[in-house]
Structure 1
């Protein structure tokens, strides 16, 4: 295992962190296979991982309880523990104390090392900021209930910069991988935080596992390269090549995954990839990007739809399914996250959007294709 010293704070973390959101289960997401999950976490710690990340809502609220059990028998003293305040449950100041106390009890610990405001976006940030969350965080640090204060993030770059500039954060957590260099905080956000002395933890290094299971044409490209590495190794080494990244979280659900990631992490040095190898990873990124069936540039000129259909988002989800040959996440968002009026199925075929599209796409016909692919089967 390789380690990296964090900025400003006297902490050295393992390059690989254990993300406890994809633990082995017995069926439903909230039924964690306790013996197997504890085995994974302890194996990782025994082999050098010293950063374990969980959250209030992971595995239907059971992840924190499981992590607390896994860190008994002396493992808590070997580990930096991270969890997150579910800001969607914070509606008054008292909620912050109540939720933190509940988490301390679930984790069976007297303090949390790395405490994050979970999944901040523009609206949730403004809400908790107005409720005094920054002052509250300071008080919790003074009481030694939390050691370091940060946030995880899912929104656009401008919002990320505003949150970074609002406080002297100890760390932040962003989604980042070789496909997401221009997504959410992206590469620019990574550099922005680092240059302000804020430590960066990376989540979704394999984009929910999609980069570990590339479609055949991308896999053929990987296999044809002179240096033989697995898709996982290319993705992780690309991240660890960055000096700006403190640790990379991986949600591991099998012992084989833990062993593979630990083996790769032993190579986790800044500059591990040559310029030629970095150019090859860029070829992989472009190969993925080239796999899209709808040539939508996401310009948004077709919006607003008179009936509320989110045309760019529908096309984005369809292209994601094609790009990674994985329809699970796009179908879930289409059926359970998007409002009904936003879905492709709500198209009334008025044709207004087609008069505005610079690409001259047959939007009405394409929306039918999107609904056919993404509707709940």
Structure 2
């Protein structure tokens, strides 16, 4: 296993175990199966295990697995505070204590503000007293490192990096999100600040494996020299020295072994020129199904009305390349789960964006199309609930 260091010199395995997708048996997690997979990963050198308060049963399952096998001290636990569900610092403390109990531990190695969406959300947490609470936990050792996870655009990510002295961060990043979400620019910005970056959704929820177009799968079979679609996506990430750890929701022993092998054989700088070209060809095949030829360059931004134009088009295209439900969930998370909404329907057709678009996209027209596709009843109801409950 390859290891990469955090800012304090701690060695983190290049591959991390994402515990959100433990196999379920009925309404519960299949604990025996999850235990075999987690322990196989740990035996192979994986030492970073990621869970969250809102992943049903995940924290308790992970805690039980580590307790049964007496290996808590061998691993780093990462879990997350659901700040959007909490109204007071007392609520923060109560939730944290519940997490410790679930995890059967008295400390958390890497603790994240879950889905920190914008600086306004952080300001709200500051008023609640979060900085003093964090300082206390770091001082007494119940939290070893503090960070945040993020879904959103590059500029807001960079602003969040600068509002606090974070120890690490977690972003969605893969070869399709190179110029969206935090993107390569955000990754490099965080790295330049000395921050370890944990990668989530390296396969876009499996979409860079199971939902690849047949033409893309054929390209990988013909030109990949035995590499799998998952291996290619992971290797693209490991090639970048700014990437600290890549999370994978592994739910089979075979998947664990394959991902461990890729992580062990893919140091930074190991991606070949042939593999780089193959990835570009695969992206071309994926993009044949897109509706809007947006490259995510961001020249159209900022929008005077706050619309996340590149993010909207990413989700709109995903409806046709990855499926409606996943695309709409990403859109909801990136535009509505925040204090300042960034929905496509906020567009007032001022046309400022179109003057700066290198692709000469009819942005106003396509934003209307995107709003019709993405902002269904469920989206509107969730957005209203966020506003009504002041969750962010």
Following the alignment from structure 2 to structure 1, what is the Cα–Cα distance between the partners of residues 146 and 152? Answer: 19
Which of 171, 175, 193 is residue 174 of structure 1 equivalent to?
A: 171
User: 1:37: how far off?
Assistant: 1.3
Alpha-carbon distance in structure 2 between the residues aligned to 1:172 and 1:22: 21
Over the aligned positions, Cα root-mean-square deviation in angstroms equals: 3.6
In the alignment, which residue of structure 2 is the partner of 1:242?
A: 240
Q: Does 1:92 align with 2:91?
A: no
Q: Is the 8 A contact 1:331 1:375 kept in 2?
A: no
Return closer, same or farther for 1:18/1:198 CA change in 2, 3 Å cut-off: same
Count of residue correspondences: 360
Aligned to 1:349: none
Distance 1:314 1:202, change over 3 A: closer
* Structure 1 match to 2:193: 196
Cα displacement (A) at 1:157? 1.7
Aligned to 1:275: 273
Preserved contact between residue 179 and residue 295 of structure 2 (Cα < 8 Å): no
Cα gap change, 1:266 to 1:328, in 2 (>3 Å)? same
Unaligned runs of 5+ in 1: 347-351
| 1:169 match: secondary structure | coil
Aligned to 1:102: 98
Task: List per-residue Cα deviations over 1:330-356 (Å, max 9, x = no partner).
Answer: 3556899999xx999x9xxxxx97999
Task: Give the 3-state SS of the residue equivalent to 2:208 in structure 1.
Answer: helix
Q: Indicate the larger mover: 254-263 or 9-18.
A: 254-263
For 1:14, the equivalent position in structure 2 comes to 13
1:335–1:375 Cα contact (<8 Å) kept: no
Shift of 1:212: 1.4
Equivalent residue in structure 1 for 2:63, among 65, 68, 80: 68
- Contact preservation (8 Å) 1:314, 1:370: no
Is 1:118 the counterpart of 2:114? The answer is: yes
Map of 1:134 onto structure 2: 131
1:221 equivalent in structure 2: 219
Q: Following superposition, which runs of at least 4 residues in structure 1 exceed 6 angstroms of deviation? A: 300-304, 309-315, 333-339, 352-358
Map Cα deviations across residues 292-351 of structure 1 (whole Å, 9 max, x no partner).
Answer: 1455789699998xxxx9999876544213223x34413556899999xx999x9xxxxx
Could you tell me the TM-score, scaled by structure 1's length?
0.83
For the structure 1 residues 328 and 360, does the alpha-carbon distance in structure 2 shift closer, same or farther, using more than 3 Å as the test?
A: closer
What is the CA-CA distance between 1:223 and the residue it aligns to?
2.2
Matching residue of 2:76: 80
CA radius of gyration, larger in: 1
- Relative distance call for 1:165 and 1:293 in structure 2 (3 A) is closer
Give secondary structure in 2 for the equivalent of 1:174. Answer: strand
For normalisation by structure 2, the TM-score amounts to 0.80
Which consecutive unaligned segments of at least 5 residues does structure 2 have?
337-341, 355-359, 379-392
Report the 3-state secondary structure (helix = DSSP H, G, I; strand = E; otherwise coil) of the residue aligned with 1:243.
coil
**1:152 offset after TM fit, Å?**
0.9
Q: Which deviates the most, 261-270 or 106-115?
A: 261-270
Determine if contact 2:198/2:245 at 8 Å carries over to the other structure: yes
* CA distance in 1 between partners of 2:309 and 2:3 (Å): 45
- TM-superposed CA distance for 1:156, in Å, is 1.9
